[in-house]
Amino acid sequence: MSTMRQLVGEVLRARRIAQGLTLRDVSGKARVSLGYISEVERGQKEPSSELLAALAQALDVPLSKVLMDVSALLAIEESTDLASVATLRPDEIEASAA
């Protein structure tokens, strides 16, 4: 399962690419270093709420939409994980929890 910071990074990168923007473009608009944005997009850094808001604004997307997209990805991952757990026998579940 992906971490929240990975999912946030995926959503931000997808938005940026869909708009045809470079990291440099977003960096200038958000006033955040290009390297830091790159680390956020790769899931290596977890952005603060202020940074996340600045990035959403730079991408001209409501912060609530970014969070909804992250939530949708998380829901997909959770349903996939639950489906795989549902096929396990009880002894396999205990072994994976150990």
What are the chain's domains?
4-97 (1.10.260.40)
Nearest-angstrom CA–CA distance, 38 and 41: 5
Summarize pLDDT for 32-80 with one digit per residue, the tens.
Answer: 999 999 999 999 999 999 999 999 999 999 999 999 999 999 988 888 7
Q: How far separated are the first and last CA of the chain, in Å rounded? A: 17
User: Does residue 98 have a pLDDT over 50?
Assistant: no
51-79-13 Cα angle (round to 5): 30
pTM of the model: 0.80
